[in-house]
Amino acid sequence: MWAATVFTLYPEMFPGPLGLSMAGTALERRTWSLETKNIREHGLGRHRAVDDTPAGGGPGMVLRADVLAASVDATLDPSDPRPRLLMSPRGAPLTQKMVRALSERTGVVIVCGRFEGVDERVIAGRGLEEVSIGDYVLSGGEMAALTLLDACVRLLPGVMGKGESGVDESFENDLLEYPHYTRPRDWEGRKIPDVLMSGDHARIARWRREQAEKLTRERRPDLWRKLEEP
Ligand code: SAM
């Protein structure tokens, strides 16, 4: 079973949307498991404080290294082979390639940051790899963790329905996906391209490839350049 452990100040946010649809069914079927750990359980004092003011001054608060480390140490076996990720806007951008690699491991450990961020020393001290879901700032790592988990779980064997292998999808092979159509054949005067109704599978495959290349060239020149590199 692919096992996810999430460290958060808001365990109520999980499984959230991952309790529904494909991911939810897979959770019920134990294709994957989800454990949440409330970092506050290791908070300090009567108020279970988890944060403190930034050294050197400045706005906001910082998640304390000692508190987060205590939570991690009380939960994880040191020999746990799963990658330990910290959701962070300054992390490595999450890609489909990374998602596929993570889905092929035994699971993942995710730390959700809050406030201005996490004390740098616990990132190094507990070997956390920073991962970003995009160039924007969320108020906490939980939505980012849900995004990462959703992307991984749908790739686990048996989670997607038959015929939905995911191999043709956007970003697999660095191409965006070709356009889709379904019935009715004519909708508000917009027709399904004739080639898709031809039954000629080789022609259809060629058309889809051309469309995928055209879309990638137009919308994601960064991906297109990567494809053109020798
Ligand atoms: N001060 C931080 C900065 O400028 O990089 C932003 C902190 S943000 C308000 C609080 C937490 O949300 C972060 O510690 C991180 O866990 C999460 N977060 C925010 N944006 C994210 C993103 N794009 N990807 C992953 N996690 C994100």
Please determine, for residue 119, whether its predicted confidence score (pLDDT) is greater than 80: yes
Say if 2-153 and 168-230 have the same CATH topology.
Answer: no
Q: What is the distance in A from the centroid of ligand 1 to the CA of 200?
A: 49
pLDDT of residue 164: 67
Question: In terms of Cα–Cα distance, which of 36, 35, 48 is closest to 8?
Answer: 36
Q: Which amino acid is at 192?
A: I
Q: Rounded mean pLDDT of 42-71?
A: 98
DSSP 59: S
Nearest residue (CA) to ligand 1, atom 17? 141
How does DSSP assign 178-230, residue by residue? PP---S-SEETTEEPPGGGGS--HHHHHHHHHHHHHHHHHHH-HHHHHHHH--
Specify the CATH architecture of the domain 168-230.
Answer: Orthogonal Bundle (1.10)
CATH H-level, domain 2-153: superfamily: SPOUT methyltransferase, trefoil knot domain (3.40.1280.10)
Please give the distance, rounded to the nearest whole angstrom, from the Cα atom of residue 117 to the centre of ligand 1: 7
CA distance 181 to 183: 7
Name the closest-CA residue to atom 2, ligand 1.
116
What's the token pair of residue 92? 């490595």
Mean pLDDT, the chain, rounded, equals 96
Provide the residue ranges of all domains of the chain, joining segments of one domain with +.
2-153, 168-230
Q: Select from 33, 161, 166 the least CA-distant residue to 99.
A: 166
Stated as kind and residue range, the H or E segment containing 25 is helix 21-28
Give pTM, 2 decimals: 0.96
Q: Give the percent of the chain with pLDDT over 70.
A: 98
pLDDT, tens digit, for every residue of 121-167? 999 999 999 999 999 999 999 999 999 999 999 999 999 986 566 77
Which residue, among 2, 11, 3, has the nearest Cα to 112 in the 3D structure? 11
Give pLDDT, residue 172: 82
